[in-house]
Amino acid sequence: MSAGERKKMTCAEFQEVLPYIFESGGDPAEMEHLKTCPICSDLVQDLRYIADQAKLLLPLRDPSPQVWDNIQHSLEREGLVRPQAKAQSAGKKKVAEVIGNREQGTGNR
């Protein structure tokens, strides 16, 4: 092999760095392998499809406050947590709502 020639990447080498390729986009050698190898190209296409479909499985909205209240009451009834004062519970709900809105990028509603 001359100084100007590069060793071609193998499928095993490509698949070893595949997680990093998804994060960073890959380097020229990795992109060259992806363009010329139908096996790895199909693999990447399948993984992208799976990732896109998995995003659809996530709930679009949080459960209603009633769901959280029912969980809290069940845990209290079963003795797994101590009963909370209504005001304390309402305050925690408001904090959780504000935090949830910030994480979703919606701000205060």
Confidence of residue 20 (pLDDT cuts 50, 70, 90): confident
Q: What mean pLDDT do residues 27-35 have?
A: 91
Structure confidence at residue 12 (pLDDT)? 94
Q: What is the mean pLDDT of the chain?
A: 79
Residue 4 within any structural domain of the chain: no
* pLDDT higher at 85 or 15: 15
0.75 surpassed by pTM: no
pLDDT tens-digit readout, 78-87: 888 887 765 4
Query: Sign of dihedral through CA atoms 13, 15, 19, 20?
Result: positive
Tell me: do 44 and 78 sit in the same domain: no
- Dmax of the chain from CA atoms? 77
Work out how many domains the chain is built from and give that number: 2
* pLDDT higher at 108 or 28: 28
Q: Contact 63/71 with Cβ under 8 angstroms?
A: no
Tell me: do 44 and 75 sit in the same domain: no
Tell me: do 73 and 47 sit in the same domain: no
Tell me: do 42 and 18 sit in the same domain: yes
- Residue appearing with tokens 């947590």: 81
pLDDT tens-digit readout, 53-78: 988 887 677 778 899 899 999 888 88
Q: How far apart are the first and last CA of the chain?
A: 65
* Domain carrying residue 76: 65-104
